[in-house]
Amino acid sequence: MLLSVEDLDVSFDTGDGRLHAVRGISFDLDEGETLGVVGESGSGKSVSTQAMVGLSSGAIVSGRALFQGRDLLTMSDGDLRSVRGRGIGMVFQDPLSSLHPQFRVGAQIAEAIRVHEKTSPKLLRSRVIDVLDEVGIPDPAKRVDDYPHQFSGGMRQRVMIGLALALRPALLIADEPTTALDVTVQAQLLDLMSRLQQEHGTAILMITHDLGVVAQVADRVITMYGGRIVERGARGEVLARPHHPYTRGLLASVPRVGSERTVLQSIPGNPPSLLIEQPGCPFASRCALVHDECVVRFPDEKHVAVGHRSACVLPVTHAGPVVLPVLPPAAEVAEIERDLIARVEDVRITFPGARKGVLGLKSDIVVAVDGVSLDIPRGATVGIVGESGSGKSTLARALTGLIPLTSGRVEFEGRDISSLGRADRRALRRDVQMVFQDPYGSLNQQRRIGSIIADPLVIHGLKTGKALRARVQELMELVGLNPEHYNRFPAEFSGGQRQRIGIARALALNPKLVVCDEPVSALDVSIQAQILNLLSSLQGELGLTYVFIAHDLAVVEHIADTVAVMNRGVVVEQGSVEQIYRAPQQEYTRALLSAAPHVDTALEEAEVTLRKVRG
Partner 1 sequence: MSTPNAVDPRVEAELDEEAEALEADAVSGLTRQTAVAARSPMQLVWSRLRRDRVAIASAVVILLVIVGALTAPLIAAWIGHGPNEQFREEGLTEFGTPVAPNSQFLLGTDNLGRDVLVRLVYGAQISLTVAFFATLGALGIGTLVGLVAGFLRGPVDTVLTWLMDTTLSLPQLLFAISLVALVGPSLTTTIIVIVLFSWAPIARVVRGQVLSLREREFVEAARSLGASNWRIMRVDVIPNLLVPILVYGTLLIPQAIVFEATLSFLGLGVLPPTATWGNMLAVASQGSLYTIAPWLVIFPSAALLAVTLAFNLLGDSIRDALDPRQTLFAGRRRLARRRSAKRAARKEAKA
Residue 566's DSSP bridge partners are 386, 571
**Within positions 27 to 86, which residues make up the interface with partner 1, using CB under 8 A?**
57-60, 74, 76
Per-residue interface string for the shown chain with partner 1, residues 472-501, x marking contact by CB under 8 A? --------xxx--x--xx-xxxx--x----
Q: Which of 126, 152, 194, 273 binds partner 1 (CB under 8 A)?
A: 273
Q: What is the 3-state secondary structure (H, E, C) of 486-506?
A: HHCCHHHCCHHHHHHHHHHHH
C-alpha span between 597 and 212 (Å, rounded): 5
**Within positions 586 to 615, which residues make up the interface with partner 1, using CB under 8 A?**
none
Backbone torsions φ then ψ of 50, nearest 5 degrees: -65, -40
Question: Exposure of 315 by Cβ count < 10 A (0-12 exposed, 13-18 middle, 19+ buried)?
Answer: exposed
Q: Which of 299, 391, 502, 584 binds partner 1 (CB under 8 A)?
A: 502
The residue range among 94-102, 138-146, 170-178, 265-273 that interacts with partner 1, by the rule CB under 8 A, is 265-273
Closest by CA position to 18, among listed 227, 269, 299:
227
Kindly state the smallest distance separating residue 448's Cβ from partner 1, in Å.
8
Q: Please tell me whether residue 369 adopts helix, strand or coil conformation.
A: strand
Query: Which residue, 296 or 542, has its beta carbon nearer to partner 1?
Result: 296
Closest by CA position to 45, among listed 196, 188, 308, 227:
227
The residue range among 144-152, 166-174, 351-359, 424-432 that interacts with partner 1, by the rule CB under 8 A, is 424-432
Query: How are beta strands 308-310 and 228-234 bridged, if at all?
Result: antiparallel
Per-residue interface string for the shown chain with partner 1, residues 7-36, x marking contact by CB under 8 A? ------xxxxx-x-----------------
Phi-psi region of 515 (alpha: psi -120 to 50; beta: other; left: phi over 0): beta
> How far are the Cα atoms of 26, 159, 226, 318, 528 from residue 304, in angstroms, in the given order?
18, 41, 22, 9, 29
Q: Which of 94, 375, 455, 578 binds partner 1 (CB under 8 A)?
A: 455
The residue range among 205-213, 247-255, 445-453, 603-611 that interacts with partner 1, by the rule CB under 8 A, is 445-453
The residue range among 154-162, 196-204, 243-251, 422-430 that interacts with partner 1, by the rule CB under 8 A, is 422-430
Closest by CA position to 506, among listed 439, 446, 553:
439
Closest by CA position to 319, among listed 247, 253, 254:
247
Report the run of H or E that residue 77 belongs to, with start and end: helix 77-86
Q: Is 150 in the site for partner 1 (CB under 8 A)?
A: no
Q: Is 311 in the site for partner 1 (CB under 8 A)?
A: no
Q: Is 436 in the site for partner 1 (CB under 8 A)?
A: yes
Contacts of 225 (CB under 8 A, 6+ apart): 39, 40, 43, 246, 271, 282, 283
The vertex-495 CA angle with 492 and 500, nearest 5°, equals 90
Q: Which of 32, 269, 371, 379 binds partner 1 (CB under 8 A)?
A: 269
Q: Is 276 in the site for partner 1 (CB under 8 A)?
A: yes
Kindly state the smallest distance separating residue 178's Cβ from partner 1, in Å.
25
Count residues binding partner 1 (CB under 8 A): 66
Kindly state the smallest distance separating residue 197's Cβ from partner 1, in Å.
33
Query: Which residue, 223 or 497, has its beta carbon nearer to partner 1?
Result: 497
Q: Is 6 in the site for partner 1 (CB under 8 A)?
A: no
Residue 513's DSSP bridge partners are 432, 545
Contacts of 191 (CB under 8 A, 6+ apart): none
Q: Is 324 in the site for partner 1 (CB under 8 A)?
A: no
Kindly state the smallest distance separating residue 399's Cβ from partner 1, in Å.
11
Q: Is 426 in the site for partner 1 (CB under 8 A)?
A: yes
Q: Is 291 in the site for partner 1 (CB under 8 A)?
A: no
> How far are the Cα atoms of 14, 87, 471, 489 from residue 445, in angstroms, in the given order?
21, 43, 22, 7
Query: Which residue, 14 or 537, has its beta carbon nearer to partner 1?
Result: 14
Contact 221, 239 (CB under 8 A): yes
Rule CB under 8 A: which residues touch partner 1? Answer: 13-17, 19, 57-60, 74, 76, 268-270, 272-281, 284-286, 295-296, 400, 402, 425-426, 429-430, 433-434, 436-438, 441-447, 455-456, 459-460, 480-482, 485, 488-489, 491-494, 497, 502, 505, 509
